[in-house]
């Protein structure tokens, strides 16, 4: 049996998360903070999923950082301290995707 920390599936999520993280920096350098906020949420979602998969979590279709963080605290209670960051970053995702909520209001 393969060590869960070496799961190729988790590595796949990490690979995509790193790509999204690089996009955050590209968009910030290009003067697009709304786009950067969107990819920040995407990167954090994928990093959390990779973290969970390393602990044997069964992949679920869930996109909210707070829900993923709730599940992560079962394995590592100290990550609960990330809740304020997850809540703020989730707002950037919503602000970029829905015209009635401008990111500048966040």
Q: Which CATH superfamily is domain 4-105 in?
A: Nucleotidyltransferases  domain 2 (1.20.120.330)
Q: Which helix (H) or strand (E) holds 17?
A: helix 8-29
Please count the other Cβ atoms lying within 10 Å of the Cβ belonging to residue 60: 11
Question: What average pLDDT does range 90-105 have in this prediction?
Answer: 63
Boundaries of every domain in the chain: 4-105
pTM above 0.85, yes or no: no
Q: How confident is the model at residue 96 (pLDDT cuts 50, 70, 90)?
A: low
d(CA 11, CA 21): 15
Q: How confident is the model at residue 95 (pLDDT cuts 50, 70, 90)?
A: low
* pLDDT greater at residue 33 or residue 6: 33
Tens digit of each residue's pLDDT (9 = 90 or more) over 10-63: 999 999 999 999 999 999 999 999 889 999 999 999 999 999 999 999 888 888
Cβ contact 24:39 at 8 Å: yes
């Amino acid at each position: 049996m393969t060590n869960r920390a070496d799961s190729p599936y988790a590595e796949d999520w990490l690979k995509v998360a790193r790509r999204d993280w690089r996009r955050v920096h590209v968009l910030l350098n290009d003067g697009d903070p709304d786009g950067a906020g969107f990819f920040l949420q995407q990167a954090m979602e994928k990093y959390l999923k990779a973290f969970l998969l390393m602990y044997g979590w069964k992949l679920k279709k869930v996109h909210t950082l707070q829900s993923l963080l709730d599940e992560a605290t079962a394995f590592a209670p100290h990550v609960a301290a990330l809740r304020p960051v997850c809540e703020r970053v989730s707002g950037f995702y919503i602000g970029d995707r829905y015209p009635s909520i401008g990111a500048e209001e966040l």
